[in-house]
Amino acid sequence: MVVGDASIDIDVLVIGAGPGGYVAAIRAAQLGKSVLIVEKQHWGGVCLNVGCIPSKALISAAHRYEEMSHSADMGVSAENVKLDFQKVIEWKNSIVKKQTGGVSMLLKGNKVQMFEGEAMFINENEARVFNEQEAPRYRFKNCIIATGSRPIELKPFPYGGRIISSTEALSLPELPKSMVVIGGGYIGIELGQTFAKYGTKVTILEGGETILPGFEKEMSQLVARNLQKSGVEIVTGALAQSSSQTENDVTVTYKVGDTEHSITADYLLVTVGRRPNTDGELGLDLINIKMTDRGLIEVDNQGRTSIPHIFAIGDIVPGPALAHKASYEAKVAAEAIAGLPSVVDYKAIPAVVFSDPEIAGVGLSETEAKAQGIEVVTGKFPYAANGRANSLNATQGFVKLVAEKGTNTLLGAQVVGPEASNLIAELALALEMGANLEDIALTIHAHPTLGEMVMDAAEGALGHPIHTLGK
């Protein structure tokens, strides 16, 4: 390894090239800054390589397989539908390669310097970046830390062999015949349901009273119903205790109340959350950045840490670990460095679960609004009453709007059903712009589309529903 003594000057050092880091680097470069971005392993980060993108590829293939196998009621029958799981994995890998290659192209096209390796702070103004060949030293005017997160590992269930995280689940060498999933949050539900659609016998162990605890029960219950239709066993109130594995399977012991149970499967998938990558050789302890007890970096509304010229974004700062949150914070941090008055406003950050049916929410739910003492009016429109949903044979779910009583200002929205992940965008925009129910109801929506349900829900909340009967 070659180590340079003299420091190289740079305007902005970005550590991590995930959806936070690479966006921050591009935006800073667009604003006239000289930028170096350092990535340890994956250009595009966890999201593009072992998270958002590959998981959605597997989910899409699972939906296609299920549709081909169960479309007789639409007059479309297919015999001998076959699943080549290895081909699915190869296709998923091709998507990842295309996306990560696009990130590298965008960075280079914006004249961002790229370094594949690690970074370690020497002091508040300098860092050494290194790999097996070289270790240059950089003096930066500003730094953006975007090192992301990794799956939480539980002591009784160490990763290895038949015990896997979401990372390994996305690249299994064969389709499991059976799988136990610890954790009924969005990662466990997305992957568990996907493998079930491929034919794996899946058991989900959730410690709480319900799966997807961050969403309204009327939404998560629809997902639970579909999981059970796919043969998934959901065990709530289940506390996993221990595991033992052989070369071919793993046995999990868990408790429900005072009763102990055990289950054996090909794999155990542990999905109990993610841990911020703020430890290790980064050297945050050397510069005394202020952090929380959970290892998150404390920041202000521009992403600025306790060291004013060092910023932090994404999974390593408080808030939900969402790729689009990281990208949003990235732009704010880069613009703050350039002297622009950008600040974060999390009011309109959507959350999406790519389950079946999909779930999406933005702003306040009815329960949350009432807990804050806000009087609300709501409008709810079912997929079953929408022409496009019926033509798609996709009638599960609803769109629900929550508005402040009196002003009719939109406070939040929830969607459960096909394409919820896309429908929520209009509602996030409405929330961001301070729209009220009249604004939404008066917006002409194309017919026949799923988007009409947003307009219909607004009309219902205003008391003059057209396509459903009023109360």
SS3 annotation, the chain: CEEEEEEEEEEEEEECCCCCHHHHHHHHHHCCCCEEEEECCCCCHHHHHHCHHHHHHHHHHHHHHHHHHCCHHHCCCCCCCCCCHHHHHHHHHHHHHHHHHHHHHHHHHCCCEEEECEEEEEECCEEEEECCCEEEEEEEEEEEECCCEEECCECCECCECCEECHHHHCCCCCCCCEEEEECCCHHHHHHHHHHHHHCCEEEEEECCCCCCCCCCHHHHHHHHHHHHHCCCEEEECEEEEEEEECCCCEEEEEEECCEEEEEEECEEEECCCEEECCCHHHCHHHHCCCECCCCCECCCCCCECCCCCEEECHHHCCCCCCHHHHHHHHHHHHHHHCCCCCCCCHHHCCEEECCCCCEEEEECCHHHHHHCCCCEEEEEEEHHHCHHHHHCCCCCCEEEEEEECCCCEEEEEEEECCCHHHHHHHHHHHHHCCCEHHHHHHCCCCCCCCCHHHHHHHHHHCCCCCCCCCC
Q: Which of 445, 447, 464, 467 is catalytic?
A: 447
Domain 357-461 matching CATH 3.30.390.30: the answer reads yes
Question: 34-75: per-residue pLDDT in tens?
Answer: 999 999 999 999 999 999 999 999 999 999 999 998 888 889
**3 pLDDT band (50/70/90 cuts)?**
low
Q: Report pTM.
A: 0.95
Question: 320-334: per-residue pLDDT in tens?
Answer: 999 999 999 999 999
Note if 261 is an active site residue: no
Domain ranges of the chain: 2-151+275-346, 163-272, 357-461
Q: Which CATH number is 2-151+275-346 given?
A: 3.50.50.60
Question: 172-201: per-residue pLDDT in tens?
Answer: 999 999 999 999 999 999 999 999 999 999
Q: Which CATH number is 163-272 given?
A: 3.50.50.60
Question: 103-162: per-residue pLDDT in tens?
Answer: 999 999 999 999 999 999 999 999 999 999 999 999 999 999 999 999 999 999 999 999
Same fold, 2-151+275-346 and 163-272: yes
Residue 471: its pLDDT value, please? 62
Q: Indicate the average pLDDT of the chain.
A: 96
